[in-house]
Amino acid sequence: MTTQIVLIFIFVGLHLLLIHLQAKKISFQYFTASSSSYILVMEMMESRSWSAAQSYCRTYHTDLTSIRSKEEKSNITLTLNGSGVQYVWIGLYRDPWAFWSDNTTSTFTNWEPAEPNNLNLVEYCASFHLLSGKWSDGMCSSRVRFFCFTVGWGRGGRIINIIRAFLF
For the chain, give every domain's residue range. 2-161
46 three-state secondary structure: coil
Assess if CATH 3.10.50.40 describes domain 2-161: no
**Consecutive H or E run containing 149:** strand 148-154
Q: Is pLDDT of 162 > 50?
A: no
Average pLDDT over residues 138-149: 87
- Are 135 and 109 a contacting pair, CB within 8 Å? yes
Alpha helices in the chain (DSSP H): 2-24, 50-59, 70-80
- Among 9-13, 26-30, 44-48, which stretch is predicted with the lowest mean pLDDT? 26-30
Residue bearing the bigger pLDDT, 24 or 1:
1
**Residue 57 to residue 167: CA distance in whole angstroms:** 11
Q: Is pLDDT of 32 > 60?
A: no
- For the chain, the residue count is 168
Q: Is pLDDT of 74 > 60?
A: yes
Residue bearing the bigger pLDDT, 28 or 16:
16
Q: Could you tell me whether strands 87-93 and 63-64 are parallel, antiparallel, or unpaired per DSSP bridges?
A: unpaired
In tens, the pLDDT along 93-135 reads 987 888 888 788 889 999 999 999 999 999 999 999 988 899 9
Which range of 54-68, 91-105, 141-155 scores highest in mean pLDDT? It is 91-105
Q: Is pLDDT of 42 > 70?
A: no
**Cβ neighbours of residue 64 under 8 Å, at least 6 residues apart?**
50, 53, 54, 57, 89, 90, 91, 100, 101, 102, 146, 147, 148, 149
**Residue 91 to residue 103: CA distance in whole angstroms:** 9
Please give the radius of gyration of the chain, using alpha carbons only, rounded to the nearest integer.
16
Strand partners, 105: 99
Average pLDDT over residues 16-24: 46
Rounded-to-10 torsion of CA 19, 76, 119, 140 = 30
Output the pLDDT for position 6.
Answer: 54
Classify residue 112 by its DSSP letter: P
- Are 87 and 128 a contacting pair, CB within 8 Å? yes
